[in-house]
Chain A
Amino acid sequence: MSYAKTKTNSTPFPLGKVGMGHLKIATAGSVDDGKSTLIGRLLYDTKSLTTDKLKAIEEKSKQRGFDYLDFSLATDGLIAEREQGITIDVAHIYFSTPAKSFIIADSPGHVEYTRNMVTGASNAQASIILVDARNGVVEQTYRHFFINNLLRIKEVIVAVNKMDLVNFSEEKFQTIKNEINYLATKSDFETQKITFIPISALNGDNVVEKSTKMSWYQGETLLHYLENIDTTQINENTKARFPVQTVIRPKTAEYHDFRAYAGKIYGGDFSVGDPILVLPSLTKSTIKNINFFDQEFDTALSGSSVSITLTDDVNVSRGDMIVKIDEIPTISKDLEATICWMDKEPLQNSQKYYLKHGVNDVQAKITQISTILKTDFSGVEENPTALTLNQIGDIQIKVSKPLFFDTYKKHKYNGAFILINPKTNNTVGVGFIK
């Protein structure tokens, strides 16, 4: 066993330059698809594993009688996971190459842990679906693909793993590719990009180094592909939304009448002088200042946490939203949404929940469960009585106060919400507004 003793002199990305060099990836795969091995392999081949971590993996691998390095030991963080050799909760793994920094949200592939897969994907810009070349497309693959579509992840990479166990057969690879491409024809997400890469995570073929055993494959290695994803194209560019988190009032002599609205900008930019509308009051005003710490700016872009002052003395509080005057979202107390249920206690008609839409909390009542969506693309089940853990369905909701929202397809931030069970306080579902 040999490995480099030191990390490469990788130049890290300039801090916070999202869109330039920072990619969030969700990984998913069935229990035995070798997902942890793939991630371990990525860490190992990019020399991101420090010597103390490598030493721990070597010792554990030896102790278990493996003649190879068991990279899953690098990612399976909980005692129960190591004991059972499975992944329970979403783990976050960080590594960087000279080209990019990566955050992997590693989601378990267990049937019962679909909620984690949705969670991991909710913050991802790209997704890797692992398929075992021996087994081909299985139920889990459908499900992963379905979730990537539901969450509208633009970059999907299908890594066909364990190619070494099928004699690096191009035919096997092609069959899987055809099946998934056929699935894609059933999806309404036309701008989604699907890329297929044959790999062996255990041996490292086409992960970081190009395989010498699959000359029929002309494409890039997995890492090379990830490094070249243009993250500026992935981040959404839509209408600017500024949900107010809190009001800053210093109440000091120096800042006696100072009132600034603190929040994060989503979807577009705001500039000083922009005519705006405060929701839900529909009050018109103009942006006077955009502040960040002790400095003022003319423009702030999507993704920035800033504070804003207005030219008029208007009443704005937490949960309100500032938008540009000609970009008004839908304002309604009724919404239709696709929901992924994440709790053991099923979702039932006329049940009440707290609904959190960004930083705005309202009460919500389920008025109808319309359908259950089959995650294998085989259609829908009409008029179900309940949605159980890990089921996905379309529902109708009535809320106590008007919400100001966009459809999820048009605006990821302003089109998503969570449901909270008022008895347990647990987050029990995530909704995507239609």
Chain B
Amino acid sequence: MSKKILEVNALESEAIYIFREVVAQFERPVLLFSGGKDSITLVRLAQKAFYPAKIPFPLLHIDTGHNFPETIAFRDKLVQELGLELIIRNVQDNIDNGKVKEEKGRYASRNILQTETLLDAIEEFDFDACIGGARRDEEKARAKEHIFSVRDDFGQWDEKNQRPELFDMLNGRIELGQNVRVFPISNWTELDVWSYIEKEQIEIPSIYFAHKRKTFIRDGFIWSANDDVVYRDEYEEVIERTVRFRTVGDMSCTAAVISDAATIDKVVEEIRDASISERGARIDDSRSEAAMEKRKQQGYF
């Protein structure tokens, strides 16, 4: 019988290594779970890192109330199947108690409001490491993010004073009140994630695949027509289109793309040929050139 040799997968090995460092170096880690493909990929990598033990930390979902219902249903199913602990904190609570003010009007989004709820949850549970699915290829401020990113009490990112990360040594030493944001798939590209989902046959929410949806067009973006959550002027005509989502955030800040890619292999093919970047479908990023950096300085992940 021939020998069974494990093929090296550098990106996967790096992510698993990072997960293990988190568990070894921190007392109360948490995985920030949005229900998007990147955080679903993180869950698979965490499973691999600790198998046959269970994933040794909970998931935290900051629920804006503007999520796609398909994402929420998927989240609940995943958590149940894998026997994971899920913590949910709602942006709505902070709006109701007046801690944050909801944006109004045409471009209103709850994206920025998430930060406050996240910081509250970190304080409530005393999390010392928050694992997220951000990638450096997404956006140019993220290209400067480190794998272990130290945040202060206010969750602030001090981009000019980051710890150098040499070889794969990760320095997770922090003071009381500080926490670390951890990005295990920093070096993955969008295509790497999609190829991995295909190869590993990872289940993802149905909205990533082509489906019929009521939509309207504004500023060249295809918006979901959901009048409870997404502001729409009367003249903005609703039409049913065959679309899919390439990135999944809130309904109010994620644009759809016209597509008939209904299977994972078709999606991978489409991503490979895409002429628009992934975050090009994020309406929140097109606000200004430095939109992401500013949000990160305020504690956005």
- State the A residues within 8 Å of B (CB): 5-7, 9-12, 15-19, 22, 50-53, 56, 60, 74-80, 82, 88-94, 96, 101, 103, 115-116, 118-119, 122-123, 245-246, 248-252, 254-255, 258, 262-264, 271, 290-294, 296-307, 318, 342, 354, 356, 358-359, 412-413, 416-418, 420, 425-427, 430
Contact = CB atoms under 8 A, between A and B. Distances in A.
A293 B51 contact: yes
27 contacts: A7-B274, A15-B9, A16-B9, A16-B10, A53-B277, A76-B140, A77-B142, A78-B293, A118-B166, A119-B165, A250-B52, A252-B52, A292-B6, A294-B51, A297-B5, A300-B5, A303-B10, A304-B8, A304-B13, A305-B14, A359-B24, A413-B167, A416-B167, A418-B169, A420-B171, A425-B171, A427-B171
Contact of B53 (A16, A248, A263): A248
Nearest to B190: A94
Interface of B, secondary structure class, is: loop
Given A56-B289, A294-B51, 10 more contacts: A7-B275, A52-B277, A82-B289, A92-B144, A96-B189, A250-B53, A250-B54, A298-B5, A356-B169, A426-B163
Q: Classify chain B: how many residues form its interface, as a range.
A: 35 or more
A299 B275 contact: no
Contact of A94 (B17, B50, B137, B166): B137
Nearest to B142: A77
B21 interface: yes
B136 interface: yes
B196 interface: yes
A416 B166 CA distance: 9
Contacts of A101: 189
B275 A430 contact: no
B174 A89 contact: no
Contacts of B167: 122-123, 412-413, 416
A264 B13 contact: yes
A88 B160 contact: yes
Contacts of B49: 262, 305
A11 to B, nearest CB: 8
A15 B199 contact: yes
A262 B20 contact: yes
Interface of B: 3-14, 16-17, 20-21, 23-24, 47-54, 136-137, 139-144, 159-160, 162-169, 171, 173-175, 186-187, 189, 191-192, 195-196, 199, 272-277, 280, 289-290, 293
B49 to A, nearest CB: 7
Contacts of B6: 290, 292, 297, 299-301, 304, 306
Contacts of A122: 166-167
B8 A16 contact: yes
Given A5-B275, A245-B20, A420 B173 contact: yes
A9 B196 CA distance: 19
A253 to B, nearest CB: 12
B173 A245 contact: no
Nearest to B165: A119
B17 A245 contact: yes
A17 B9 CA distance: 6
B84 to A, nearest CB: 15
B166 A418 contact: yes
Contacts of B5: 297-301
A206 B140 CA distance: 26
